[in-house]
Amino acid sequence: MAATADVQRRALLRAGLYVIPLLASARVLAHPMPDTEIVVGRDATTVALDIRLPFHDLLLASPPGLPRDARTLLAGNQPSLRSYFAAHTRLLGPADRPVPVTIGTIRLHQDHGADVGAYAELEVRAVARVDAHVRIRLAYDAILHRIANHRALVRDHRGRPIGTIRYSLASRRASPLALPNGPSS
Amino acid sequence: VRKLLYILGAVLLLAGAAFGILAWRGSSSLARYTNTNIHMGAVSTAAADALCPQTGHPRLVCLANGLQHGMSPELRAQLRRPYSAADARRWSNFPPVGYPDRVGPTLGDFTPAQLGFVKAMPATAAGLAKNEGYDELEQILNADDYLKANTTDNAGFSSGNFHIAFLGTPAERGTWELYFGGHHTAVANTYRDGRLIGATPSFRGVEPFTPFTMNGRTNAPMAQERDAFAAMLTGLTPAQQREAKLDMIFTDVVVGPQRDDNFPTTREGVRVGSLDLHRQQLVLAAIDRYVMDISQPDAAAILRRYQAELGDTYVAFSGAPGMNAENDYVRIDGPSVWIEFSMQPGRSIPGIHPHSVWRDRRSDYGGNG
């Protein structure tokens, strides 16, 4: 019986070690609308950027003539949207050498926040092949290139802040942000 | 198989417990809010006025002492904190759900007798001009009661959810800040040795923006700020408007809460010194709408300083000069003064609503930021 109880205790401990950090991270990952949020994940050979941005601000920052309805826009404009994000999501390696970035499928997320009301976000995944030990910087200015007060809050996959990308009224550009080396832990 | 079931059961049990903890954590930051309508207009300050007949800073010190008299140690500990720039920066335009980290107890935590002293403090610090100072604050609180009564949003709208705090000890000597804030509101008056050394950051916003009836009165607390900016911008010549026009879009203020370091190093727009006297007066009138949120004689002294710097002050805007449409934005940027006004879409009800911040490049947080 004692052995069984010991097994149960260990199982509980193991479960706690896995479950509690996972759940604890859920709260800190709450999206601080109306800014953009970028979650960075790195493994040995890849860096992935999960980008969530407010659809309303994207429309303001985009050229006129795009459909105002989010579903219509997404259904008929995936290639041009991917081109837009490719132009505004760049990774810079050593000596600012560009690292090719692939923009994946763009999805729509609609929700309601008590403090911001109903909102729609686009979810964009950008992936690049780059070894974990290589120093890279993220040069991102989607929306920011037109909306001066917009910010991109960059975090690791556990919700820990890496930094904020913002448009500088002084330099009239958004400075690149250094991303941490090594696989995400 | 049995062992596996034990483990699975344990995992589910723990997950449930962790979710419970998580839910509690999520709600505990909001559990401090009473969500009550205080109806500040009906709160009597007679006892506070009788105890503290002084004016200015001596009255503030008297009111602070009167408020704390007989107060529970727990409430006093929340109300009075050591002065720190970190705590001074804990303000926001968001309602409690969007920003639960404000300092100090809420109005809903005080007894009716204590509320009289609480009300008298921002009234003393902000002055009693119609639609400015304290009157403007009271109407913004009424707007939150209006949102609570007329929307289903559970964002923590309520006049009872506004905070007051003393950072440092209100006294003749030393540094302290009177903080009063909540949704769309931040008052941060910093005093040193009895003198006002910082009246900013000062944030005001309101939803609904159009006149509304709440707590027995008609409220339109920021109409005259918008009108002053519209008069200033439409009063410019077409060439001056072109010079003042920014090419970027502004959906909110730039130097808002937790963005203390976001001042541009280069001023943009039309230089006020290049305008004729009439147009300069329109700029000064817009600035005065903010300075009037401070009681006299401090307001007059601040305005004199801004007037002396008017020649090197710039006006810039984005959107339309009428300041009555979504994303209309205007900025006054001087050697000291920084004022932004941003018209935004309605968040909780249809329409538009403004955010506005007054900062001072030299004396934000009393120069301690």
CB-based contacts of A90, cutoff 8 Å, min separation 6: A98, A99, A101, A138, A139, A140
Interface test with B, best of A7, A112, A149 (most B CBs within 10 A): A149
∠ at Cα B228 (B223, B231), nearest 5°? 120
Q: Which residue of A lies nearest to B248 if distances are taken between CA atoms? A: A146
In this prediction, residues B159-177 reach a mean pLDDT of 98
Q: Where is average pLDDT lowest: A81-85, A174-178, B258-262, B334-338?
A: B258-262
Residue-level pLDDT at A14: 41
Q: Integer distance in angstroms from the first to the last C-alpha of chain A?
A: 37
Share above pLDDT 70 across residues of chain B, in percent, rounded to a whole number: 94
The number of C-alpha atoms within 13 Å of A54 and in the hemisphere containing its C-beta is: 24
Is A148 touching B (CB cutoff 8 A)?
yes
Helices (H) and strands (E) in chain B, counts: 11, 13
- State whether residue B318 is helix, strand or coil: strand
The reported pLDDT for the residue numbered B17 is: 56
CB-based burial label for A9 (10 Å; 0-12, 13-18, 19+): exposed
How far apart are alpha carbons B161 and B97 in whole angstroms? 11
Cβ neighbour number for residue B9 with a 10 Å cutoff: 14
For A33, the token pair is 């609308």
Burial of residue A182, with CB atoms counted within 10 A of its CB: 0-12 exposed, 13-18 middle, 19 or more buried: exposed
pLDDT at res. B13? 66
Is the CB of residue A11 less than 8 Å away from at least one CB of chain B? yes
Asked if residue B171 has pLDDT above 90, the reply is yes
- Which ranges in B55-161 belong to alpha helices (H)? 56-68, 73-79, 85-88, 112-126, 133-150
Question: Among A11, A34, A60, whose Cβ lies nearest the Cβ of B249?
Answer: A60
Q: Is the pLDDT reported for residue B141 higher than 80?
A: yes
What pLDDT is recorded for position A115?
Answer: 62
Q: A14-28, B64-78, B90-104, B272-286: which range is least confident on average?
A: A14-28
> How many CA atoms are closer than 13 Å to the CA of A139, on its beta-carbon side?
15
The first and second tokens of residue B315, run together, are 């006006």
Give the pLDDT score at B368.
87
Question: pLDDT digit string (tens) for A19-67?
Answer: 333 333 333 334 445 799 999 999 999 999 999 999 989 999 987 778 8
Q: Does B131 touch chain A (CB under 8 A)?
A: no
pTM score, two decimals?
Answer: 0.86
pLDDT (0 to 100) of residue B89? 98
Q: How far is CA B265 from CA A10, A11, A105, B48, B334, in A?
A: 59, 58, 39, 45, 11
- Given a cut of 60, whether residue B330 has pLDDT beyond it is yes
Average pLDDT over residues B223-245: 98
What average pLDDT does the segment B208-219 reach?
A: 98
Q: Do B25 and A148 touch (CB under 8 A)?
A: no
B254 touches chain A (CB under 8 A): yes
User: Quick count: other Cβ atoms within 10 Å of Cβ A66?
Assistant: 16
Nearest to A170 among B25, B265, B348 (CB): B265
pLDDT, position A183:
78
Task: Tell me whether A114 touches chain B (CB under 8 Å).
Answer: yes
pLDDT digits (tens, 9 = 90+) for B290-324: 999 999 999 999 999 999 999 999 999 999 999 99
The pLDDT value given to residue B42? 97
A116 to chain B, minimum CA–CA distance in Å? 6
**The pLDDT of residue A80 is above 60:** yes
* Angstrom distance (rounded) from CA B336 to CA A64: 38
Confidence of residue B15 (pLDDT cuts 50, 70, 90): low
Which residues in chain A are closer than 8 Å to B346, comparing Cβ atoms?
117
Contact B94 A115 (CB under 8 A): yes
User: What are the DSSP calls for chain A, one per residue?
Assistant: -HHHHHHHHHHHHHHHHHHHHHHHHHHHT---TTSEEEEEEE-SSEEEEEEEEEHHHHHHHSPTTS-SSHHHHHHH-HHHHHHHHHHHEEEE-GGG-EE--EEEEEEEEEEEETTTEEEEEEEEEEEEE--TTS-EEEEE-TTTTTBTT-EEEEEETTS-EEEEEEEETTTTEEPPEEEPPS---
CA dist B42 and B119 (Å) reads: 10
The per-residue pLDDT for A153 is 95
Q: Does B25 have pLDDT greater than 70?
A: no
Distance CA A144, CA A151 (A): 7
* Residue A68 contacts B where some CB pair is shorter than 8 Å: no
**Which residues 297-356 of B have a C-beta within 8 angstroms of A?**
327, 342, 346-348
Q: What mean pLDDT do residues A109-128 have? A: 84
More confident residue, B267 or B7: B267
Q: What is the mean pLDDT of chain B?
A: 93
| Residue B135, both tokens | 């009157």
Alpha carbons B295 and B129: distance in angstroms, whole number: 9
- Tens digits of residue pLDDT in B28-67: 567 889 999 999 999 999 999 999 999 999 999 999 999 9
- Cβ-Cβ contacts under 8 Å between A and B: the total is 93
Model confidence band, residue A185 (pLDDT cutoffs 50, 70, 90): low
Phi, psi of B270 (to 5 degrees): -95, 135
Alpha-carbon span A167 to B254, nearest angstrom: 10
What is the residue type of B20? G
Mean residue pLDDT across chain A: 82
SS3 of residue B146 by DSSP: helix
Per-residue pLDDT at B348? 87
State which H helix or E strand residue B344 sits in.
Answer: strand B337-345
Q: In chain B, which residue's Cα lies nearest the Cα of A57? A: B251
pLDDT, residue B23, reads 45
The whole-angstrom separation of Cα B60 and Cα A77 is 60
Q: Can you tell me which residue has the tokens 């002055």?
A: B127
Nearest CA in chain A to B183: A115
Predicted local confidence at residue A71, as pLDDT: 87
pLDDT tens figures, B81-127: 999 999 999 999 999 988 999 999 999 999 999 999 999 999 999 99
Question: For B153-215, what is the HEC assignment?
Answer: CCCCCCHHHCEEEEECCCCCCCEEEEEEEECCEEEEEEEECCEEEECCCEEEECCCCCCEEEC
